[in-house]
Amino acid sequence: MSDCSPCTCGDALARVYDYLDSELDAASAVAIAGHLQECPDCAEQYRLEQVVKSLVHRTCCEERAPEALRVRIVARISEVRITYRRQS
Ligand SMILES: [Zn+2]
């Protein structure tokens, strides 16, 4: 599906949390951003992390955690990770 190397994908996925939190140095952030543009699998992973992050943030501000929704998203992420392993 995508023609990026598994090594680069592993790198991107390992750093996607830091990228999301803007904790990477500029060079790494550019590298990850570039990879996300080229790789649909990692871009999807990043999109899901964004959803989870915003959900977690929202949960802090609300009275009750939307547990069912959180479980569904985590399950979806596991699905994506399994799909990713099968492709590589
Ligand atoms: Zn990738």
Mean pLDDT of 37-51: 91
With beta carbons less than 8 A apart as the criterion, state whether 54 and 87 touch: no
For residue 12, the CA-to-ligand 1 centroid distance in Å is 6
The percent of residues above 90 in pLDDT, for the chain, comes to: 22
* CB of 21 closer than 8 Å to CB of 50: no
pLDDT at 46 over 80: yes
Quote the pLDDT of residue 8. 80
State the average pLDDT over residues 22-31.
90
The alpha carbon of 15 and the centre of ligand 1 are apart by a number of angstroms equal to 11
Residue 61 is predicted with a pLDDT of: 59
Q: What's the pLDDT at 65?
A: 56
Structure tokens at 52: 């989870």
